[in-house]
Structure 1
Amino acid sequence: MKALSIAATGMNAQQTNLEVIANNIANVNTTGFKRARAEFSDLLYQADIQAGTPSFANQNVIPEGANIGLGVRTAAVRNVHIQGALTSTGNRFDMALTGSGWFQVEGAGGETVYTRAGAFNTNALGELVTVEGYRVSPAINIPEGSVEVIVNRSGQVFARLEDQIELQELGQLTLATFANDAGLKPMGSNLFAETEASGAAIVGVPGDPGFATIQQGYLEGSNVDPVKEITELIAAQRGYEMNSKVIQAADQMAAVVATGLR
C-alpha cells in the first residue's frame, strides 16, 4: 500500500521543517543570524493512465491521465538574508551593516570568510578581530593608547591618541556582496563561505551603490520573528500529525484486507 510510504515521506519532511524552525528559535538572540526556511518539492509520479493516449473503446484521446504522487522531499534549506533590527550597544568596536554586504574575515586556514556579526574587539596586537579571534580584512590595527576610535558610515577608521588633537586614519574597511546570498555556505560562528552557487565576491566601499553603510556602536540582531516561528511550528506539528493519521488509516485498511483473506 503506497499510502504508508507516501505518508512516511511527509513525516520526514515535517521533521526537517521542525528542526529548521527549532534552530531559528534557538538563535533568536544571535547577532547577525539569518533565519532559514525549509523548501520542499513533490517526488516522482506513477502514471496509471497516460494523458493523450487513445481510449480502448473508440480511440478517442484521453484528455487527462491518472498520475499518483509518491510523496515529498526536502529540496533545500534556504537562509533568508533580510535586514535584522539594529541595537545600540555603545561599544566603539561594535559595527552594524545597514543594507547589502558582508564584513570580510580571515578564516582559520587563511581563507576569506564572511559575516554580518560586527561584534568586534582587539587582540593583544591591537588587531581588529571577531569574538572568535578571526582578523577582520582588510587588517585594522588600533594603536596602543588610543582614547577614541571612530568608524564613519563609509568604513574609514580613525583614532585619536592620547595628548593629540588630530585624528589619525588607520585604514579603510571594505565589504563584499554576492549575486546570490542564499548560495553562501553557513559554517557556524556567524561565518559564511563563498560557493559556486553564491558567485564570486564583489568587494566595494561601504556606502557605494549596492553596498551597506556602517553604523558604529550598533549590532545587527537576528532577523527571526518569534511570532512567525511559533506559527510555523504549529503548522509543522499539524502536518506531522496529519501524516501520522494517514499511516494509521492505511494500517487499519490493510488489517481489514488481511482479516478478509483469512
Structure 2
Amino acid sequence: MQSLNISTAALRSVQQALDNTANNLANVDTVGFKRRSASFSELLTDSMNEQASVDSQQRNSPAGLRIGSGVRLGLTKLDVTTGSMKVTDVPTDLMIEGDGYFLVSHLFRNADGELDDEYRLTRSGDFELSELADLPGFALVTPSGEYLVDENGNRITFENAGELTITPEGVVMMDGNEVAQLRLYKVDNPDQLQQIGNNQLLAPTLDDQKAPDFMPFAEGRIRQGALETSNVNVQEEMSQLLAIQRAYQLNSRAIGITDQMMGIANSLRSR
C-alpha cells in the first residue's frame, strides 16, 4: 500500500509540473512573460530505528530505515531574467531595460456599485493609444484595457493623438509638450504577489494605502519602440517535458505493478 500512495502522490505532482511546463510553452510569444520553474519537496517521512533482531542480521545498511511518503509540488518559482529585445519602432511599444515594472490601473465596480481602480504591475509594454470612454481625449492602455498611470497613480491622458515621445527617464511628451512623468516600480519578491492573468501581478497594499503611495521606484530605463519578449527557452522546456513524461510513465507503471502484487496476495489468501 505504501508504494501505491507514493506513486499516486508523485503522479499528482508530476501532473502539476506538466501543467506548469505547458503554460510556459503556451506563452512563448507573450510579450514580457516570465516563465515559472517547478520544484518538488518531500512529504512526511518516518524513520524505523528499531528493527527486529532477525531483520538486523546480515545487514550492511546503517541502523535506521527511512520510509518516505512520496513528493509534492513545493513551489513554482518565477524566473525574472530579462527576455530578448524586439525592435518594433511603434511609439506606444515600451521596453524596460533593467529592473522594474509598469503600473497600470484596472477599473471595476466595488460592492457599493461605484467605479474603483485596482493597481497592477506588469512587464508587458505593448500599449495602445485608445480614445477615452468617459472623458474627451486619449490614453495609453494595455491590450486588456488597463490604463498606464504616472508617478501619482493617475491615468496618462492626452488631449489629442499626435507625436508621442517617451524618454528613457520616463518623461511622457505629446507633440513636444511634457504631459506626465512615468515611473517604474521595484518588486523585491514577485512570488509574494498574486498573479491575476493577462501577464499581470496585483500591486500590494499597505495600511489601507494603494500603490504607488509606498512602492519604491526602480532603476530601470524605458526604451521606446521596442518590446521585451518572453524569457521561455523552448529547448529547455521540451527537455523538461520529456523528463516529466518519463516520470509519469514510471509512476504509472509502479501503480500497475502494485495492483498486480495486491491481486496476487488476495488470490493467495482466498485459497
Shorter-chain TM-score bucket reads 0.7 to 0.9
CA distance in 2, matches of 1:7, 1:158: 60
Give, as a single letter, the amino acid of the residue that structure 2 aligns with 1:115.
Answer: T
Give, as a single letter, the amino acid of the residue that structure 1 aligns with 2:139.
Answer: E
Alpha-carbon shift at residue 49 of structure 1 (Å)? 2.1
- The 3-state SS of whatever aligns with 2:28 is coil
Give, as a single letter, the amino acid of the residue that structure 1 aligns with 2:203.
Answer: E
Q: In the alignment, what sits opposite 1:17?
A: 17
Alpha-carbon shift at residue 159 of structure 1 (Å)? 2.2
Q: In the alignment, what sits opposite 2:167?
A: 152
Q: Does residue 67 of structure 1 match 2:79?
A: no
The answer to whether the Cα contact below 8 Å between 2:138 and 2:161 also exists between their aligned partners in 1 is: no
CA distance in 2, matches of 1:11, 1:132: 36
Q: Which of 115, 118, 121 is the equivalent residue of 2:128?
A: 121
Structure 2: stretches of 5+ with no match in the other structure:
57-61, 109-116, 132-136, 206-210
- The 3-state SS of whatever aligns with 2:246 is helix
TM-score (norm 2): 0.82
What pairs up with 1:100-249 in 2 under 5 angstroms?
Answer: 100-109=99-108, 110-124=117-131, 125-138=137-150, 139-144=155-160, 146=162, 148-160=163-175, 167-195=176-204, 202-204=215-217, 210-249=218-257
CA distance in 2, matches of 1:119, 1:25: 20
Q: RMSD of aligned C-alpha atoms?
A: 2.2
The answer to whether the Cα contact below 8 Å between 1:174 and 1:203 also exists between their aligned partners in 2 is: no
Alpha-carbon shift at residue 257 of structure 1 (Å)? 2.0
CA distance in 2, matches of 1:97, 1:257: 64
The answer to whether the Cα contact below 8 Å between 2:106 and 2:145 also exists between their aligned partners in 1 is: no
CA distance in 1, matches of 2:5, 2:248: 14
Q: In the alignment, what sits opposite 1:33?
A: 33
Alpha-carbon shift at residue 140 of structure 1 (Å)? 2.0
Identity of aligned residues (%): 33
TM-score (norm 1): 0.84
| Cα deviation digits, residues 188-244 of structure 1 (max 9, x gap) | 112111359xxx86332xxxxx52111100111111111111000000000001111
Point out 4+ residue stretches in structure 1 off by more than 6 angstroms: none
